[in-house]
Chains A and B, each alone.
Chain A
């Protein structure tokens, strides 16, 4: 079945460091791919998405490119801030009858000043 694998955390970085959180997926067909972010004590909110191969999603300085050849959707940011500290979830949406969101296990990012 469809699944998402993302790197385990926690990831601890200093402010202004470069961030990469790896995400790979297994899916039949052509899923849509998402990154959701969960700030402490809050629900998940969409960070960015890509709906077809080679699409690049971007928001708030974060980027991810839908790579069909490597089945990957890695999240990157050039210079992280303390306010980016959160849990990041990679997810895919299958395009079958249920249109279900399938999540990875989440990666905790801690940015230190």
Chain B
């Protein structure tokens, strides 16, 4: 079954304690990205990756890091989380296909609370 798997689904942590949210896809997609979803703001892109070892900032990258060492995995790293990073996070993947209107597949989401 084609899927994007995120872990954990729920996480409560304290300010400053480093954490990693994992994301893995089994569709051999080149393009992966991370979004955060906040009320009234929709989904905003944090980082994206167009292929292995190629990553770039999205619209709200401050306080986040990513890596793309393998095609299937795209972890999101919060080196020193702060309360304003409390949000619902989604990982997504899609084929590269520029201009083709390719479908993005989303993970189930990670609800992060930073206290």
Contacts and interface: CB of A to CB of B under 8 A. Distances in A.
B73 to A, nearest CB: 17
Contacts of A44: 43, 90, 92, 104, 106
Q: How large is the interface on B (under 10, 10 to 19, 20 to 34, 35 or more residues)?
A: 20 to 34
Interface stretch (A11-19, A71-79, A97-105): A97-105
Contact of A100 (B42, B45, B90): B45
A105 B44 CA distance: 10
Contacts of B4: 43
Contact of B100 (A34, A51, A104, A105): A51
Contacts of A41: 108
A32 interface: yes
Q: How large is the interface on A (under 10, 10 to 19, 20 to 34, 35 or more residues)?
A: 20 to 34
Contact of B43 (A32, A45, A89): A89
Nearest to B103: A46
B84 to A, nearest CB: 19
A95 B90 CA distance: 22
Contacts of B44: 103
Given A32-B101, A51-B100, 17 more contacts: A32-B99, A32-B100, A43-B4, A43-B108, A46-B103, A46-B104, A49-B101, A95-B98, A98-B56, A99-B97, A101-B33, A101-B45, A101-B92, A101-B104, A103-B35, A103-B42, A104-B42
Best-surrounded residue of B4, B96, B98 (most CB of chain A within 10 A)? B98
A69 interface: no
Interface string A30-48: 0010101000011111100
Nearest to B95: A99
Contacts of B90: 43-44
A45 B106 contact: yes
A106 B38 CA distance: 10
A96 B30 CA distance: 16
22 contacts: A32-B100, A32-B101, A34-B101, A41-B108, A43-B4, A43-B109, A44-B90, A44-B92, A93-B101, A93-B102, A98-B48, A98-B50, A98-B56, A99-B31, A99-B97, A100-B33, A101-B43, A101-B45, A103-B35, A103-B42, A103-B43, A106-B42
